[in-house]
């Protein structure tokens, strides 16, 4: 099994996600990048923070993330940063990303007209109280 290493707050991660999503992230933001060997295989950018919510932008190659990393991200956002929800918006045409969000426990919330340069966005949310990646005791 390949090991995945995590980078934090590296500008190369943000550029990598921007190149793959077509979205430009404006500061302030935080990011995590995932390496297999010396190759970047995934990145998540946390942006548009509020006291309760954070938006995430992500790009992942197949196998670019694993269960332990997902659990770590959930602990970071919900326990470390105190958010009650996470929001991800995918292009309306990106059905693979929408299915991936659902598999991770995100629920469809709404369609956002003209969210991306050439199409609508589909917003999904994950609430702390519903996050299966946290233990029962840490959800409250």
Q: CB of 134 within 8 A of CB of 128?
A: yes
- Indicate the number of domains in the chain: 1
Look up the CATH number of the domain holding residue 54. 3.40.630.30
pLDDT class of 36 with cuts at 50, 70, 90: confident
Give the residue-averaged pLDDT of 64-86: 91
Q: Each residue of 106-139: pLDDT tens digit?
A: 999 999 999 988 999 999 999 999 999 998 777 7
Q: What is the pTM of this model?
A: 0.88
Which residue in the block uniquely carries the two structure tokens 């923070």?
A: 49
Containing structural domain, residue 109: 4-139
DSSP state string for 90-127? EETT-HHHHHHHHHTT-EEEEEEEEEETTEEEEEEEEE
């Amino acid at each position: 099994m390949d090991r995945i290493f995590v980078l934090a707050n590296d500008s190369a991660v943000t550029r990598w996600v921007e190149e793959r999503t077509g979205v430009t992230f404006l500061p302030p933001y935080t990011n995590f990048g995932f390496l297999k060997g010396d190759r970047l295989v995934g990145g998540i950018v946390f942006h548009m923070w509020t006291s309760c919510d954070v938006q995430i932008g992500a790009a992942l190659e197949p196998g670019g993330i694993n269960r332990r990393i997902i659990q770590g991200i959930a602990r970071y956002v919900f326990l470390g940063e105190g958010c009650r929800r996470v929001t991800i918006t995918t292009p309306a045409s990106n059905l693979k990303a929408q299915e991936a969000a659902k598999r991770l426990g995100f629920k469809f919330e709404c369609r956002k007209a003209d969210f991306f340069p050439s199409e609508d966005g589909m917003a999904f949310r994950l609430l702390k109280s519903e996050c299966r990646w946290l233990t029962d005791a840490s959800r409250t």
